[in-house]
C-alpha cells in the first residue's frame, strides 16, 4: 500500500458549504493557481481572500449552471465581479429585474414604471444613470 495523500479533483457544493473562508481561498488557489482576480467593474487585480471569497462561494454553490458542473474544481468558471460589486448587484437586481420584465411585457405605462424604479432605488441609496429605463 502507498502512503501518498489522496488527490481530490473536485469539491461538491455541499463540501464547499462546510469550508471556512480561509480553507476555501486556499483550495481555490490550489485548483486554479490564482492568488488574485481582476474585477470587471473595479478594474484591477485584487487578492482573493479579501475581495473574492463570497463571489467564489456563490459560484461554487451551483449544482449545475448552463451545463457547467458546480462545486470547486480546476475547470470552474471564475466570477467576474468582486464581493463588493456582487453585493450591490444583488440589491439592485431585486428592483431592476421585475421592472425590466414589466417594461417588456407592457404591463404598465413606461413612465410610471421608470418613476417607480427611481423611487425604489433612492430608498436603497442608489443614484441612477438610466440606460434602459428612460421615461
In tens, the pLDDT along 92-126 reads 999 989 988 888 888 778 888 888 888 999 999 88
Average pLDDT of the segment spanning 10-18: 92
- For the question of whether the overall pTM of this predicted structure is more than 0.75, the answer is no
103-112 burial code (b ≥16 CB/10 A, e <16): beeeeeeeee
- As a whole number of angstroms, the distance between CA 25 and CA 49 comes to 6
Instruction: Give yes or no for residue 38 having a pLDDT over 90.
Output: yes
Residue 68: band (very low, low, confident or very high) from pLDDT cuts 50, 70, 90: low
| Nearest of 25, 33, 50, 41 to residue 80 by alpha carbon | 41
22-41 burial code (b ≥16 CB/10 A, e <16): eebbebbeebbeeeebebee
CA distances from residue 127 to 27, 58, 77, 100, 135 in whole angstroms, order as listed: 38, 26, 31, 18, 16
Phi/psi of residue 9, nearest 5 degrees: -95, -15
Query: Which segments of the chain are extended strands (E)?
Result: 10-11, 36-38, 45-47, 64-65, 68-69, 72-73
Amino acid at each position: 500500500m502507498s502512503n501518498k495523500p489522496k488527490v481530490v479533483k473536485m469539491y461538491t457544493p455541499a463540501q464547499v458549504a462546510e469550508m471556512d473562508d480561509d480553507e476555501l481561498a486556499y483550495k481555490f488557489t490550489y485548483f486554479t493557481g490564482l492568488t488574485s482576480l481582476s474585477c470587471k467593474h473595479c478594474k484591477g487585480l485584487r487578492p482573493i481572500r479579501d475581495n473574492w471569497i463570497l463571489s467564489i462561494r456563490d459560484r461554487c454553490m451551483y449544482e449545475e449552471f448552463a451545463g457547467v458542473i458546480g462545486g470547486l474544481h480546476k475547470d470552474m468558471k471564475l466570477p467576474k465581479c468582486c464581493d463588493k460589486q456582487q453585493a450591490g448587484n444583488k440589491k439592485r437586481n431585486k428592483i431592476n429585474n421585475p421592472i425590466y420584465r414589466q417594461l417588456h411585457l407592457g404591463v404598465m405605462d413606461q413612465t410610471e414604471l421608470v418613476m417607480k424604479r427611481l423611487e425604489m432605488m433612492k430608498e436603497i441609496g442608489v443614484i441612477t444613470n438610466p440606460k434602459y429605463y428612460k421615461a
